[in-house]
Amino acid sequence: MNKIVKKAADISAIIACIVLFFLAMLTFFDVFGRRFFNSPITGTIEIVQIGMGLVAFLSMPRAFYLNSHVSADFINGIQIKSFQYFLLFFKFLLMFFMMSFMTYAALLSANSFLKDGRTTIELDLSFYPFFYIISFALFLSMITIIFWFLNTFSEKKNELKGL
């Protein structure tokens, strides 16, 4: 199961990589077309905005799995077993709590966009598919947080054995 979750987080990050590269190329060719051929690519700004939203949320599961989020770790120096377990559990609870609510909130937004049929102005793209993807990415983050916790807990157990 751990491997499957890691693979899913990696696939999500790979999609984010591809989208990011696509956005870089799209923007470059938009500038090139506009400046040299007087023909910009229609809706570039809208695509970049939506694309960046996808990049942001699709890149989160892997960041959670690798625990690469910015945090102040100077309290980690306190080598008291129970305190270290408390820190780990507390961090897990907060991360899980927040990601669960974010998933729920994004899903509600996706449903409401599906209902009211809201679209982008220039390209007339529906918002709801993107919000479903975002809520799925957030759900994946939620799952990776559980596995991050389980992995870190067993590592911590070995690390703190001597204390």
With beta carbons less than 8 A apart as the criterion, state whether 15 and 58 touch: yes
What minimum distance in Å lies between the beta carbon of 7 and another protein?
A: 15
Q: Rule CB under 8 A: is residue 123 a binding residue for another protein?
A: no
- The 13-52 site mask, x for binding another protein (CB under 8 A), equals x--xx--xx-xxxxxx-xx---x---------x--xxx-x
Long-range contacts of 146-151 (CB under 8 A, 24+ apart): 146/96, 147/1, 147/2, 147/5, 147/6, 147/65, 148/64, 148/65, 148/67, 148/92, 149/88, 149/92, 149/96, 150/2, 151/2
Q: Rule CB under 8 A: is residue 124 a binding residue for another protein?
A: no
47 — phi, psi (to 5°)? -65, -40
Q: Rule CB under 8 A: is residue 104 a binding residue for another protein?
A: yes
- Judged by the rule CB under 8 A, the positions of this chain that interact with another protein are 13, 16-17, 20-21, 23-28, 30-31, 35, 45, 48-50, 52-53, 55-57, 59-64, 66, 68-76, 87, 90-91, 94-95, 97-98, 101-102, 104-106, 108-109, 131, 134
